[in-house]
Structure 1
């Protein structure tokens, strides 16, 4: 089964149905730690995801660490240079 994507407060999570337990499991991406959640239906999934994200942010704040990885824009440089040359 393929993964689905869920966004909570602009943060991306992948979600996959686990047929063994009959529930959907999700994990937030670009985190420095783990922010996982699970639920049996879509409504509960969004609630569980929001709770997991909130708890993760709280734990990171308490530990004094930045919760998310910074996005690396370096791979975009060649694309931006090509775009700039086309526009000028």
Structure 2
């Protein structure tokens, strides 16, 4: 995944061949904000502009700019995987939750 970070905000970057530009979408916001650029420097400058405008609008409207996360989510897996996770967790003296947290943290570590 191509991610660009500005001021603690992350954006997913993709190339749009129809317009021959890169498109960025700022992630984790309570609304949508995107931006375009042809070069990395232009893309980063447009990211800053788009983020600034988004934050100003949020401030004017009294809206929290970042989406809130509860720290909970449901995960559906096959019964076979559930069994393997339970056995692995028991063997390590951990809960399935702890084992899953470790695996997820390792996956998103940069």
Q: What is the TM-score normalised by the length of structure 1?
A: 0.79
For structure 1, which runs of at least 5 residues remain unmatched after alignment? 84-88
Aligned twin of 1:25: 23
Q: Give the distance between the partners of 2:72 and 2:32, measured in 1 at CA.
A: 25
**How many residues are paired up?**
78
Deviation at 1:72, TM superposition (A): 3.0
Paired residue for 2:41, among 43, 46, 49? Answer: 43
For structure 2, which runs of at least 5 residues remain unmatched after alignment? 74-96, 103-110
Aligned twin of 2:72: 74
Which one has more relative contact order, counting CA pairs under 8 Å at least 6 apart? 1
Larger radius of gyration: 2
Deviation at 1:36, TM superposition (A): 0.6
Q: Give the distance between the partners of 1:72 and 1:12, measured in 2 at CA.
A: 19
Q: What is the TM-score normalised by the length of structure 2?
A: 0.64
Flag as ranges the 4+ runs of structure 1 deviating above 4 A: none
